Amino acid sequence: MAHATSDPPWLSLPAEVTTVLRPVVTDIVEAIIEGIPRDVPVYAMPMEGRFGQGVRRGVTVALNRFLDLPGTRLPALSEDGKWVYENLGRGEVRSGRSLESLLAAYRYGARVTFRAISRTVDVSQLAPDVLLSLGESLFAYIDELSAASAQGYAQEQSERAGEQLRLRGELLEMILRGDSSDGGVARLAAAVGWTLPEVVVVALVPFPHVDGLRGALGPDGLVAERGTDVLIVFPFVSRKARRRDLERALRGRRAIVGPARPWQQAGESLHLATSAGAHGVAPGPDGPDGPDGPDAAPVWVEDHLAELVVLAEPLATDDLARTRLAPLDGLRPAVRERLTETLLSWLRHQGQRAPIAAELFVHQQTVGYRVAQLKELFGEALDDPEVRFELELVLRAGHR
């Protein structure tokens, strides 16, 4: 007798299956328990203690529920049964095993059950469609058990991942507080599997640019949200290699990376990174789209310390700029821009024409002509080391 598509396959099973098998459930359970360690080697352990109790309970509940189904439209699992198999899935995560081991045990149990039915029921007297429904019922039932365990397995993994993220965020905050008195940082680092380094950097990434950040940083990076930014604590013991790794992970994210510090002083790295962001310290063009492009490198505060010092007192810098750049007042804007650009390069390269020309993409004769104009405008002031220092400060601070 064919069953409708919406009907479960066990609707076609005769009640005889239940009547004959119910008295031998204990024997089938013991056969399954005895054979699982042979068929699924990962379970080759004594069926004692909590593990053995869990397996025995799972097999017993499964068999008794299956025997409730013949001739009914009952769902494969009751709410209590579903909880049992979800919990078995969770247990596999806690034991460090893959879900496939548990599913293999379910399949083994189905085979043992089918053989037991074949021995106790006169299958020769069953119609072909009933035999088909029997096999289909076992397959469908095992699928439901497997789905419940897979759900429990996934939930446990998700909860564990969430707890790991929470603990790693807590570790980051403890490091930024310099919390080192009672060894709490070392204990929490060990608990989350993070090797506590001697030296770290702290980086800031604004929220619009954090997609995929944890994956890009890998397990070495501690990440936590704070305000409109995401904070990162990253090991920096091997400076050259670590800078390369962090640069790759943060490229295109408008990140600011504070200077390296012992982890107990990580708050200083954060302070300087925050200050650099607040004062508009930015990298120069890097890549075809400039500092805002997808290939733009992060700002390394250690490369901009002098600029940060100057920008920290903008009013004083403005006053100094008005005084030192006064000889350029009255020039047309385009001329003034060319001369200040040349002056900064001249100061940076200590008057060497070749590197100045290379930096400005002009001929060395053009450099000579512009430097002559500057010396005419500034006079002997350019010979004064103090004046040159102050000029470079205001030009590096962006004054033109």
Mean pLDDT calculated for residue range 96-118: 87
**pLDDT over 50 (residue 288):** no
Give yes or no: residues 306 and 320 share one domain. Answer: no
**pLDDT over 80 (residue 392):** yes
Give yes or no: residues 366 and 224 share one domain. Answer: no
**pLDDT over 90 (residue 265):** yes
Q: How confident is the model at residue 125 (pLDDT cuts 50, 70, 90)?
A: low
Indicate whether 183 belongs to any domain: no
Mean pLDDT calculated for residue range 336-357: 92
> Given 279, 310, 341, which residue is the final one in a domain?
310
Indicate whether 293 belongs to any domain: yes
Query: pLDDT tens-digit profile of 28-85?
Result: 888 888 888 888 888 877 666 677 787 888 888 888 999 999 999 999 998 888 898 8
Give yes or no: residues 268 and 365 share one domain. Answer: no
The whole domain housing 300 covers: 197-310
Give yes or no: residues 146 and 237 share one domain. Answer: no
Range picked from 144-153, 183-192, 313-322 for highest mean pLDDT: 144-153
**pLDDT over 80 (residue 181):** no
For the chain, what is the mean pLDDT? 86
Give yes or no: residues 237 and 338 share one domain. Answer: no
Q: Spell out the SS3 assignment of the chain.
A: CCCCCCCCHHHHCCCHHHHHHHHHHHHHHHHHHHHHHHHCHHHCCCCCHHHHHHHHHHHHHHHHHHHHCCCCCCCCCCHHHHHHHHHHHHHHHHCCCCHHHHHHHHHHHHHHHHHHHHHHCCHHHCCHHHHHHHHHHHHHHHHHHHHHHHHHHHHHHHHHHHHHHHHHHHHHHHHHCCCCCCCHHHHHHHHCCCCCCCEEEEEEEEHHHCCCHHHHHHHHCEEEEECCEEEEEEECCCHHHHHHHHHHHHCCCCCEECCCEEHHHHHHHHHHHHHHHHCCCCCCCCCCCHHHCCCCCCEEHHHCHHHHHHHCCHHHHHHHHHHHCHHHCCCCHHHHHHHHHHHHHHHHCCCCHHHHHHHHCCCHHHHHHHHHHHHHHHHHHHHCHHHHHHHHHHHHCCCC
Indicate whether 296 belongs to any domain: yes
Q: What is the domain-level CATH number for residue 92?
A: 1.10.490
> Given 110, 133, 160, which residue is the final one in a domain?
160
Q: What is the domain-level CATH number for residue 317?
A: 1.10.10.2840
Mean pLDDT calculated for residue range 123-130: 70
Mean pLDDT calculated for residue range 235-252: 89
Give yes or no: residues 294 and 203 share one domain. Answer: yes
Query: pLDDT tens-digit profile of 212-239?
Result: 888 899 999 999 988 888 999 999 988 8
Indicate whether 105 belongs to any domain: yes
Between 142 and 178, the more confident residue is 142
Structural domains of the chain, count: 3
**pLDDT over 60 (residue 284):** no
Q: What is the domain-level CATH number for residue 260?
A: 3.30.70
**pLDDT over 60 (residue 4):** no
**pLDDT over 50 (residue 287):** no
Query: pLDDT tens-digit profile of 311-325?
Result: 777 888 888 899 999
**pLDDT over 60 (residue 107):** yes
- Give percent of the chain above pLDDT 90: 41
**pLDDT over 70 (residue 105):** yes
